[in-house]
């Protein structure tokens, strides 16, 4: 996986989350996960297609998602309802849009799918033959992992 694909997502996630939540963020060490991996409970997933293929996953616990959505909406939310899901979807949209703009400026051409939210316990995401790079972010609301699995398309 080329670092040129990863850095814009890491920078965008860091900048957008810091801006919308108005808090300090601690970035932990990056690590790789195998092709099948558990998610923490709430994950916004965005697919990529074009010169590259893959996906970006913004992963967090349900508790963290509720706290993040509460801050973004300026009101205390207590359950993982449709407003929380829509807010996390919008967060994913903002992060991926900024990252893709940077990548397009660098000459990479690909499209995004609209973000989708998956929720629940004991879920796993599988990517065939692609390892995912994980960027853990620590914030007062809890831990968020930016999970990027991208590979170049053969023959493009």
pLDDT in tens, 53-104: 888 999 999 999 999 999 999 999 999 999 999 999 999 999 989 998 998 8
β partners of residue 150: 54
Alpha-carbon dihedral of residues 138, 139, 141, 144, nearest 10 degrees?
-40
User: CA 43 to CA 28: how far, in whole Å?
Assistant: 19
Tell me what pLDDT residue 20 has.
95
* Nearest residue to 119 (alpha-carbon basis) of 73, 59, 37: 59
pTM for the structure as a whole:
0.89
Tell me what pLDDT residue 35 has.
65
């Amino acid at each position: 996986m080329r670092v040129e694909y990863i850095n814009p997502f890491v920078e965008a996630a860091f900048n957008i989350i810091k801006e919308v939540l108005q808090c300090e963020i601690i970035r932990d060490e990056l690590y790789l996960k195998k092709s099948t991996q558990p998610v923490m409970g709430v994950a916004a997933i965005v697919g990529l297609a074009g010169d590259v293929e893959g996906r970006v996953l913004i992963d967090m616990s349900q508790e963290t998602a509720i706290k993040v959505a509460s801050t973004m909406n300026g009101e205390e939310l207590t359950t993982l309802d449709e407003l929380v899901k829509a807010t996390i979807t919008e967060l994913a949209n903002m992060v991926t849009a900024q990252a893709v703009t940077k990548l397009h400026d660098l000459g990479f051409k690909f499209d995004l799918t609209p973000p989708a939210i998956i929720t629940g316990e004991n879920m796993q995401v599988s990517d065939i033959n692609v390892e995912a790079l994980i960027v853990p972010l620590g914030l007062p609301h809890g831990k968020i992992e930016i999970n990027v699995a991208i590979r170049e398309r053969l023959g493009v």
